[in-house]
Amino acid sequence: MPNKPLSSLTAARYGKTKVRVFRIVRQDKWHHIVEYNVDVLLEGDIESSYTEADNSVVVATDSIKNITYYLAKVSPHILNPEKFALHLGTFFVSKYAHVHKAFVAIEQLRWARIPVEAGKEHPHAFYRDGDDKRVVKVEVDASKGKDKLVGRVGAGISDLLVLKSTGSKFEGFIRDEYTTLVEVDDRIFSTSVDLEYTFSEIPLKAPGDAEKLQFAVPEGVEDGSVWDEEVPERARRATLEVFAEDESASVQATLYKMAQRIIAENAHIQTVTYTLPNKHYIPVDMKYIGVDNLTPSKAEVFTPVAAPSGLISATISRKQE
């Protein structure tokens, strides 16, 4: 009796991760720069490369890296990570018949112009003005046909470190035999913001030229859509302003207000997900020397605690009409 196989391949995806790209766009003496870490993963008729050692279906990950650099050179969309990710994803599913989906993730590092002479910005000198990154996650789906491409776009922020020294309470939580935390009406609130918002699906035009290099962004920008270049800055400002101004009852309650504001300000954003570690700062107990450093209004010296931290996450979704 033939042996029944015990297993089968149920998911397969491969590509290149952390392709580091730096690009200069020269507008005469006025230079624009971007620095990206790019991940590209492909799905399609690639099962045989796993199950039968058949490399004839494999676009080498080295070629995936080369294509990433080539499009960084020729794409007119390189300065915008959402558009560049869509261009790159569209390229892979258009060029290779057996590739049905491309997943492109881009992390953009911050470079700001150095201010010189009374706030004027330097044309070609830059500095790193924060460790937070703009992030983009794109899926280009050709599984319904190469002329019926669908784009799914998520974007957001990672590693945006913030702290407020008052305007934050935590009271009224469950008290039982396991509770040691005291209620406070004034505490430090610090977190490293991780934000992802998603847009409604967009139809994409398949590139028509032989090299599959054209990628058209539709004319006209709809407010709050994937094509609206103000969305990332609005989302960042909403995050920072709500964090600063909210009289926070908890990380959960502040998170919810941030997300509501992003949904309200951007018509095409469907979901907003925040993941917020609660980075604890513990007041140092100085009772042993007769000094009150524990009463919230007298707490001035704290120990920043690297771990453990709380971790508060939620997704807020637009209500469907």
Q: Is 187 annotated as ligand-binding?
A: yes
Q: Give whichever of 187 and 268 is closer to ligand URC, judged by the CB atom.
A: 187
Chain positions contacting ligand URC, by CB under 6 A = 170, 181, 250-252, 278, 310
DSSP assignment of 238-295 equals: HHHHHHHH--BS-HHHHHHHHHHHHHHH-TTEEEEEEEEEE--EEEP--GGGT----S
**Nearest distance, CB of residue 181 and ligand URC, angstroms:** 5
**Nearest distance, CB of residue 252 and ligand URC, angstroms:** 6
Q: Give whichever of 216 and 311 is closer to ligand URC, judged by the CB atom.
A: 311
Q: Is 170 annotated as ligand-binding?
A: yes
Q: Active-site residues: which are they?
A: 16, 61, 280
> Which residues are 126's β-sheet partners?
113
Cα separation, 195 vs 16, whole angstroms = 24
Cα separation, 268 vs 223, whole angstroms = 8
Whether the bond into 218 is cis, omega within 30 of 0: no
**Nearest distance, CB of residue 242 and ligand URC, angstroms:** 15
- For residue 198, give both structure tokens: 């998603």
Question: In the chain, which ranges are E strands?
Answer: 14-27, 30-44, 99-109, 112-116, 120-127, 133-141, 149-164, 189-199, 202-204, 269-278, 281-283, 302-304, 310-317
Q: Give whichever of 49 and 192 is closer to ligand URC, judged by the CB atom.
A: 192
Q: Give whichever of 71 and 251 is closer to ligand URC, judged by the CB atom.
A: 251
What value, to the nearest 5°, has the Cα angle with vertex 62 and ends 14 and 66? 115
Q: Give whichever of 206 and 312 is closer to ligand URC, judged by the CB atom.
A: 312
Q: Are 234 and 266 in contact (CB under 8 A)?
A: yes
14 in helix, strand or coil? strand
Q: Give whichever of 62 and 177 is closer to ligand URC, judged by the CB atom.
A: 177
- For residue 147, give both structure tokens: 């002329």
Contacts 24+ apart (CB under 8 A), 56-62: 57/98, 58/14, 59/92, 59/96, 59/99, 61/14, 61/15, 61/16, 62/16
Cα separation, 84 vs 104, whole angstroms = 9
Q: Is 320 annotated as ligand-binding?
A: no
Q: Is 61 annotated as ligand-binding?
A: yes
- For residue 73, give both structure tokens: 């050179």
**Nearest distance, CB of residue 169 and ligand URC, angstroms:** 9
Q: Is 62 annotated as ligand-binding?
A: yes
**Nearest distance, CB of residue 152 and ligand URC, angstroms:** 32
**Nearest distance, CB of residue 175 and ligand URC, angstroms:** 12
| Residue ranges of the binding site | 61-62, 170, 187, 251-252, 278
| Residue ranges of the binding site for 5-hydroxyisourate | 61-62, 170, 187, 251-252, 278
| Residue ranges of the binding site for urate | 61-62, 170, 187, 251-252, 278
